[in-house]
A and B are shown apart, each in its own frame.
Chain A
Amino acid sequence: MGLRNRNKRRDIVSQTTLDNAFDRRTFTIGTAMGGLGVLLAARMGYIAIAENEKYELESESNRVNLSLIPPRRGWLLDRNGAPLASNRADFRVDIIPDRTPDPDRTVAVLTDILELDENQSADVLKRIEDSPGFQPVEVASGLKYDQFAAVSVRLPDLPGVVPQRGFSRFYPTGPSVGHLIGYVGPANAEEYEEQDRNPLLITPGYKIGKDALEQQFELDLRGIPGARRVEVTASGRIVRDLETREDVQGDPVRLTIDGPLQDYAARRIGLESGSCVVMDCETGDVLCMSSMPSFDPNSFSQGIGRVEYAMLRDDERVPLRNKVLKGLYPPGSTVKPMHCMAFLDAGVKPEETIVCGGGRRIGNRFFNCWSNHGSVDMAKAIYQSCDSYFYHFAQQVGFDHVAKWAHKMGLGEEFPLPVTSQFYGTVPDPAWKKKKFDQDWQPYDTVNSSIGQGYYLTSPLQLAVMSARLATGNRVMPRLRLTDEKPKFEHFDFSPEEIGYVRQAMSDTVNGPGTAGRARLPFDDILMAGKTGTAQVVSLSISNGKTGPWKYRDHGLFVFFAPFDKPKYAGAVVIEHGGGSGSAYPIARDVMTFMFDPAKGMEALRPLEEQWGGTAQERLNQKYRAYAAAAGEAVPPVPERDEDIFDQVEAEARVAARQPEAIAEEANPSRVDTRSAQEVSEDTNSARPTSPGSTPQATPADDPE
């Protein structure tokens, strides 16, 4: 079979069969070639004609690059329209790590051009290392035009470097508003994902609110980005501009905060660690909520340096915590007037007296009072802060009832404020204790709680709210955003006489035979009412609370309102480890003095600041330099402040504004500023000689202990 096949095949192959095969096969090949040609033509027709629209679009999206122009952020204004947070024009240089093949070299070149020091370039390299890569990292901002231009001309040698002309956030009063306002910073990868990968967030130079009000009002402040359509090459080089749409600045947010008061209170806290809240009793407007020590939000917004952050993080006075909202302290005696309201509500008559024999027996135990007060009625119990009275009546009406009133007065409550977080603390009562510790309420719990100790924990904001509610008898709600409408508050069921009685007793604390005589305001016609408080931090066996290690000293507290008979302002001051209420009420006194007479307030502050070594801002800068020097790092000198427009929210500005009418009109015709910085600086300079020039009446009687 095989043999036959072979023979057969051999027979077939001849010149003719080969020629025929050749013809057939070349014909096949020719057909295949032609077929492929038709196929290619059809394919091309399909791509170029049927799918033309799609590919034209893709070609356009290749060619045209839409780059966003970050919108200018809306201003945060104080109640008078002066900026607490604003923007200033800024030349900046960014670097995009993904597009930089050799970051070390590039940063070295930039360091040279921009005259950065080693510390700063180390920071930049670290940030480049930490960044997700796609996101631009700021190398330096606040550059001079010359430096900006020098970088711009060297761009071909600096791949990934982006010089920008933009705006940077500016907080004129720096640390005074740090906790209140927060700061801004570039969005991180999580925020980018959360906000649906909004391309604006990764636009170089765009910063979002990172904390506090900046974060809360982010959407109001953001504005609408502008857009620049440019033709770009594949490598991203811009060939030409096509069209540009301007950005729309974000809306300003007007706060209830009184800028100068906020600054004053922050500065008046001085070297202490503490907080001060002042509210308007009629509207609930929070006029100031200062928490010190603080950080400079300008540093954060420019990308805080590693050394500066370490300094803040390692400080035992926790400058990174907003103590107004997140500091919790036993309220101590400051709750006593509020407890009296609870007693009144329970039917206790103000005239009812008990005898304080240096303490009082409750149940089968004797509890000490801090002094021997003899016969004590409600008024004396308040102004002399007699503990025995509260042991007795709290036991009599039951602490449940007292706790109910504590909540009504704002303790243990959260308020509808635009803040990132607030701690609500603890108002102890039997049900709470059972739930928390699975233990029954004991008489000694009532005793401890009745004088604001034990499990009681409150924030300074709550104390201020309590004070406002106590003073007015209204359920005053604090607010931070200014609106035109005047809020209506529910009135507690107290007679004017009852309210008047407590007001008088609290006024006597300050102006009468009470515990805070030195808190008297330096005015004849305005009397401040208040209540001191001291909260023990550790047991008396460890420290007496007044001296010794800072950590063991008592907290000093003071709640107040003024004028006492027609309360307009109410507030609270809490000084951590101040060694008693004596550290707190002088601050309240000076803050309220400043409220009614800025010049007098400044007179009190100036010598203190001289003694402390400058304003809060100056001290923070000094501290940073000292810290950096200790860490062996060089720190650039603090830049000069040359923008006087921002002085409007500094405490001094209020003094200038309250000069005699004629000058004041000239100096500051409107709180909403429409003038240029130049004009303002001329105006304020002409209006101010009285303040720094005149010799202040030094030495107020009570320097902080």
Chain B
Amino acid sequence: MSGIVPDPIARQPWRMLFPLFVLIGFGALVLFSAAGGSWEPYASSHVIRFLVFLPMAFVISMFSRELAQFFAFPVYIVIIVMLMAVEAIGFVGGGSQRWLDLGFMQLQPSELMKPGLVLVLARFYANLPIGLIPTWRSVVPAAALIGAPVALVLLQPDLGTSLALAFGGAVVMFVAGLPLRWFLAAGAAAAVLAPIAFFFGLQPYQQRRVFTFLDPESDPLGDGYHITQSKIAIGSGGLSGKGFNEGSQSHLNYLPEPQTDFIFSTMAEEWGFIGGLVVIAAFAMILGWGLKTARESQDRFGKLLATGMTATIFFYVAINLMMVMGLAPVVGIPLPFMSHGGSSMMTNMICIGSLMMVARWNRRAPRTGLIS
């Protein structure tokens, strides 16, 4: 709001937008290299998608609180219907399917569900009478809201996305103020049920991935290949990397999926530890801004919405980085803002848009308002 910079620009959340542009630009460079030193096919479409979704995020940020609240349930229901449609098409087609072909892009409804679920939960808790928070009436509807899409996505089967949904939902419930004991109890129950679920609920290939994660060297050419090659890429980068466009692991195809799931490895090979720190720092700034937005929000809906959106982005980042460094099993989750891929870009830009929306509400709210 100073004199030199026009107000509409100055009031944008540059604390978040600047690292975001850094990530997108850096991602484009890495994608350029991953394509063997070419803008096609990854880097150019990456930038174009960003240029499409950034205005979309700004449009989202214009929504009023009332509008967002109003649309929460209809949006949720529409996405649930789309998930069921995917299920039906997959069933008819005789194989698993995760996307709807919209002609101009392939839409993964499960991706849309991540912000959608956060939105609907925020809406649910914002309007729940405070007195009901410690009762079953705060849990059962929320559990149903989370359970339905998680179950549908698990059927696809897509473990990574269903975990992301559950994580986003759980974070919203957590910050909604539900008694801590419930979370501890649920955590204990999960600890007991996890092994059972592992042996009876997971597909053999998923079980193998977990085993491989625990001991990647046991089968370096088979299931451990991804993790081993990713660690080689990161490790061989050293402090400052092999140099732009010089990564042998990605250029000679040793690294699987160098443009999507393992883009961080591709980056780390060429830019080294320093590049890695830049990426982690950029994410820290974005996520920090997201949390700050949540904390500064004056109303419950905004708080929950912003926290949930931040958690959703965080889940992507954390799982992806842990995976490429050999700290988590291979679960096919891309790195936000860097990986090549439309659905992931869309989800994360919706999250960013929602956060910007809450940030805008914060600016407008009376600074000393005690009541939302």
Contact = CB atoms under 8 A, between A and B. Distances in A.
Interface in A11-44: 13-15, 17-18, 21-23, 25-26, 29-30, 33-34, 36-37, 40-41, 43-44
Contacts of A63: 248-249, 252, 254
Nearest to A235: B253
Interface stretch (A47-55, A399-407, A445-453): A47-55
Nearest to A57: B236
Q: Which of A10, A30, A47, A56 has the most CB of B within 10 A?
A: A47
Given A29-B311, A55-B235, A62 B300 contact: no
Interface residues of B, number: 51
Contacts of A21: 175, 177
A37 B279 CA distance: 11
A25 B295 CA distance: 10
A15 B303 CA distance: 13
A35 to B, nearest CB: 11
B274 to A, nearest CB: 9
Contacts of B235: 47-48, 51-52, 54-56, 58-59
Interface stretch (B85-93, B188-196, B281-289): B281-289
A26 B277 CA distance: 24
Interface string B224-252: 00000101111111110000000011001
B314 interface: yes
Interface stretch (A226-234, A368-376, A511-519): A226-234
Interface stretch (B109-117, B148-156, B199-207, B319-327): B319-327
Q: Which of B239, B269, B283, B325 has the most CB of A within 10 A?
A: B325
Secondary structure dominating the interface of A: helix
Interface in B65-101: none
Given A26-B294, A48-B239, A37 B284 contact: yes
B177 A48 contact: no
Contact of A44 (B176, B232, B276, B284): B276
B231 A47 contact: yes
B130 A13 contact: yes
Nearest to B276: A44
B164 interface: no
B355 interface: no
A239 interface: yes
Contacts of B234: 44, 47-48, 55
Given A13-B131, A13-B133, A44-B268, A59 B307 contact: no
A45 B322 CA distance: 13
Interface of A: 9-10, 13-15, 17-18, 21-23, 25-26, 29-30, 33-34, 36-37, 40-41, 43-45, 47-49, 51-52, 54-56, 58-59, 62-63, 231-235, 239
Interface of B: 130-131, 133-134, 171, 174-177, 179, 229, 231-239, 248-249, 252-254, 268-269, 272-273, 276-277, 280, 283-284, 287-288, 291, 294-295, 300, 303, 307, 311, 314, 318, 321-322, 325-327, 371
5 contacts: A13-B131, A23-B295, A41-B280, A56-B238, A62-B229
The 4 A-B residue pairs with the shortest CB-CB distance, nearest first, are: A55-B235, A59-B236, A234-B253, A21-B177
Given A26-B291, A41-B276, A47-B325, 15 more contacts: A18-B177, A29-B311, A37-B284, A40-B322, A41-B277, A41-B280, A48-B272, A55-B232, A55-B235, A56-B238, A58-B236, A59-B269, A231-B248, A231-B252, A233-B254
